[in-house]
C-alpha cells in the first residue's frame, strides 16, 4: 500500500477528516482535522509513514479548520 492510502487508513482509524495528495515535485501534502490529540498522533505517524515509505521531512502549518467531513485521497 502506498503512502497516501496508508495515510488515509491511519487518519480514519484516528477519527480524522481531511485529505492527502501527491505534489508534482514528489512531496505529499495532507490536511488533517479532528481532536488535537489525534492530529498530533497523525503528525507523528507521518514522520515515519508506512513500512515502504521514505520520509525525509515533515513540515507542519496550523490553519483554521474547514469543517471537512471525510478523509480523502486526492489526485493532483
Catalytic sites, residue numbers: 4, 22
8 A C-beta contact, residue 32 and residue 39: yes
Q: What residues have CB less than 8 Å from 9, skipping those under 6 apart?
A: 1
In 3D, which of 52, 47, 16, 49 has the Cα closest to residue 34?
A: 16
Amino acid at each position: 500500500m502506498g503512502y497516501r492510502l496508508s495515510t488515509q487508513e491511519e487518519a480514519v482509524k484516528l477519527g480524522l477528516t481531511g485529505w492527502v495528495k501527491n505534489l508534482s515535485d514528489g512531496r505529499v501534502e495532507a490536511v488533517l482535522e479532528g481532536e488535537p490529540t489525534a492530529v498530533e498522533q497523525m503528525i507523528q505517524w507521518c514522520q515515519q509513514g508506512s513500512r515502504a515509505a521514505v520520509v525525509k521531512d515533515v513540515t507542519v502549518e496550523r490553519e483554521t479548520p474547514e469543517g471537512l467531513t471525510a478523509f480523502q485521497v486526492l489526485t493532483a
